[in-house]
A and B are shown apart, each in its own frame.
Chain A
Amino acid sequence: MKVISFIRVLFFFLYFLLIASPLSFAQEDLSQSWFNPHRVNMLIFLIFFFAIIIYFIDRAKKGKSLFIRRIAGLDAIEEAVGRATEMGKPVLFIPGIEDIDQIQTVAAMIILGNVAKMVAAYDTPLFVPICRPMVVPVAEERVKEGYASAGRPDAYNRDNVRYISDEQFAYAAGVQGIMLRDRPAANLMFGSFFAESLMLAETGFLTGAIQVAGTANIHQLPFFVVACDYTIIGEELFASSAYLSKEPKLLGSLKGSDLTKAIIIGILALGAILETLGITQFTRWFFIE
Chain B
Amino acid sequence: MRREIPIAICFLAGIFYTLELFIPHRQVLSIFETVRQWAQILIAFAYVLAIANILRVNFHAIQKNQRDWPYKVVLIVSLFFMITLGIFFGGIGEGTIFDWVYYHAQYPLQSTMFALLAFFIASAAFRAFRIRTLEAALLAVTAVLVMIGRVPVGEELWNNFPDFTEWIMNVPQLAGKRAIMIGAALGAISTALKVLTGLERTYLGGE
Tell me, in angstroms, the Cα distance from A166 to B110 when the chains sit together: 13
Question: Is A227 an interface residue when CB atoms closer than 8 A count as contact?
Answer: yes
Question: Is B169 an interface residue when CB atoms closer than 8 A count as contact?
Answer: no
- Find out whether the CB atom of B203 lies under 8 angstroms from the CB atom of A106: yes
Tell me, in angstroms, the Cα distance from A169 to B108 when the chains sit together: 11
- Find out whether the CB atom of A234 lies under 8 angstroms from the CB atom of B24: no
- Find out whether the CB atom of B181 lies under 8 angstroms from the CB atom of A198: no
The listed residue (A33, A136, A234, A238) touching B25 by CB distance below 8 A is A33
Q: How far is the CB of A55 from chain B (nearest CB, A)?
A: 13
- Find out whether the CB atom of A233 lies under 8 angstroms from the CB atom of B180: yes
Chain A residues with CB under 8 A of B183:
234-235, 261
Question: Is B199 an interface residue when CB atoms closer than 8 A count as contact?
Answer: yes
Chain A residues with CB under 8 A of B114:
169, 195
- Find out whether the CB atom of B57 lies under 8 angstroms from the CB atom of A198: no
**A25-48: contact bitstring with B at CB < 8 Å (1 yes, 0 no)?**
000001111111001001100100
Tell me which residues from 167 to 207 in chain B have a Cβ below 8 Å from any Cβ of chain A. Answer: 177, 180-184, 186-195, 199-200, 202-207
Chain B residues with CB under 8 A of A141:
204-206
Question: Is A191 an interface residue when CB atoms closer than 8 A count as contact?
Answer: no
**In the complex, which residue of chain B has the Cβ closest to the Cβ of A256?**
B190
Tell me, in angstroms, the Cα distance from A221 to B202 when the chains sit together: 26
Given A35-B22, A109-B203: A49 in contact with B189 (beta carbons within 8 A):
yes
Given A33-B24, A46-B18: A181 in contact with B180 (beta carbons within 8 A):
no
**In the complex, which residue of chain A has the Cβ closest to the Cβ of B189?**
A49
Tell me, in angstroms, the Cα distance from A162 to B66 when the chains sit together: 15
Question: Is A239 an interface residue when CB atoms closer than 8 A count as contact?
Answer: yes
- Find out whether the CB atom of B189 lies under 8 angstroms from the CB atom of A250: no
- Find out whether the CB atom of A261 lies under 8 angstroms from the CB atom of B181: no
Tell me which residues from 164 to 179 in chain A have a Cβ below 8 Å from any Cβ of chain B. Answer: 166-167, 169-170, 172-173
The listed residue (B29, B180, B195) touching A106 by CB distance below 8 A is B195
Overall SS of chain B's interface: helix
Q: How far is the CB of A125 from chain B (nearest CB, A)?
A: 14
Q: What number of A-B contacts does a CB cutoff of 8 Å give?
A: 179
Tell me, in angstroms, the Cα distance from A241 to B65 when the chains sit together: 39
Tell me, in angstroms, the Cα distance from A43 to B123 when the chains sit together: 48
Residues of chain B at interface, number, CB under 8 A: 59
Question: Is B23 an interface residue when CB atoms closer than 8 A count as contact?
Answer: yes
Question: Is A253 an interface residue when CB atoms closer than 8 A count as contact?
Answer: yes
Residues of chain A at interface, number, CB under 8 A: 75
Tell me, in angstroms, the Cα distance from A169 to B109 when the chains sit together: 9
Question: Is A223 an interface residue when CB atoms closer than 8 A count as contact?
Answer: yes
Tell me, in angstroms, the Cα distance from A145 to B205 when the chains sit together: 6
Question: Is B1 an interface residue when CB atoms closer than 8 A count as contact?
Answer: no
- Find out whether the CB atom of A198 lies under 8 angstroms from the CB atom of B60: no
Question: Is B128 an interface residue when CB atoms closer than 8 A count as contact?
Answer: yes
**B146-184: contact bitstring with A at CB < 8 Å (1 yes, 0 no)?**
000000000000000000000000000000010011111
Tell me which residues from 12 to 34 in chain A have a Cβ below 8 Å from any Cβ of chain B. Answer: 30-34
Chain B residues with CB under 8 A of A113:
202-203, 205
- Find out whether the CB atom of A42 lies under 8 angstroms from the CB atom of B54: no
Q: Return the 9 tightest CB-CB contacts between A and B, nearest first.
A: A238-B187, A133-B50, A235-B187, A141-B205, A169-B113, A30-B24, A145-B205, A133-B46, A216-B184
Q: A103-B192, A167-B110 are in contact. List 6 more A-B contacts (CB 8 A).
A: A169-B110, A169-B114, A234-B180, A235-B184, A241-B202, A257-B190
Instruction: List the interface of chain A (C-beta within 8 A of B).
Output: 30-36, 39, 42-43, 46, 49-50, 53, 57, 99, 103-104, 106-107, 109-110, 113, 130, 132-134, 136-138, 141-142, 144-145, 149, 158-159, 162-163, 166-167, 169-170, 172-173, 181, 195, 198-199, 201-202, 216, 218, 221, 223, 225-227, 233-235, 237-239, 241, 245, 249-250, 253-254, 256-257, 260-261, 264
